[in-house]
Amino acid sequence: MFNPLCNGSLLDVYPRLSEIVPEALWADQQLDNILRFLIVMYDPNSPLIRNEKDLKYRRAKAFELCGIHDEGLQTALETHTHYYFPKLVFEYLKRFGKSKEWAVIAALEYCFWESIYKLISPISGDNSKIELDAVQKKEVIKDGVDKDIKRLEQYYKQFFGGDEVLEKKVKNVFHLS
């Protein structure tokens, strides 16, 4: 979809990218290289992702390909402490990743919170049989919640390409599970 090694500014060559980049960042001198890095590292169609599973090697190669030589910037991108990078990755994957995993994550998150609501709702009934049924239903819901948590973790790992640091940062920024 986007060639991160194209000539010219990515925002000029691919105006659709501006959909995920707040206008306030357009003047950032590092933005173009950061966008290139993002695409090389996290786009599901990136040859680097498809052909290289080792995250550390992939990251070093991406820095080289995208012309990011500043060690401070490399560290900030690697540790996801750069002030806008985690949000940019998240928005890129959500908007352009065409990710089935993202759709599943969204659906599972919704079901998870719906189940939590049912679990914290008080049990009430006209007789002990109705209350016993409600308690048994909650046990089934608890098992479902445990399974949902495990599923969500698997999908998050797939969605973030095994990059646990990015996964944690994005979860913290967006208050995800």
From the list 44, 36, 32, the residue with the least C-alpha distance to 64 is 36
Whole-structure pTM over 0.75, yes or no?
Answer: no
pLDDT tens for 114-136 read 899 889 988 887 888 888 888 99
The neighbour count for residue 140, using CB atoms within 10 Å, is 10
Distance CA 95, CA 108 (A): 19
For residues 59-68, average pLDDT: 96
Residue 38 near residue 2 (C-beta atoms within 8 A): no
User: What is the model's pLDDT at position 106?
Assistant: 62
Distance CA 48, CA 39 (A): 10
From the list 140, 169, 171, 174, the residue with the least C-alpha distance to 153 is 171
pLDDT of 24 above 80:
yes
The Cβ-side half-sphere exposure at 73, using a 13 Å CA radius, reads 14
Residue 20 near residue 92 (C-beta atoms within 8 A): yes
Distance CA 165, CA 177 (A): 15
User: What is the model's pLDDT at position 173?
Assistant: 63
More confident residue, 125 or 144: 144
pLDDT of 17 above 80:
yes
**Domain map (residue ranges) of the chain:** 10-96, 100-174
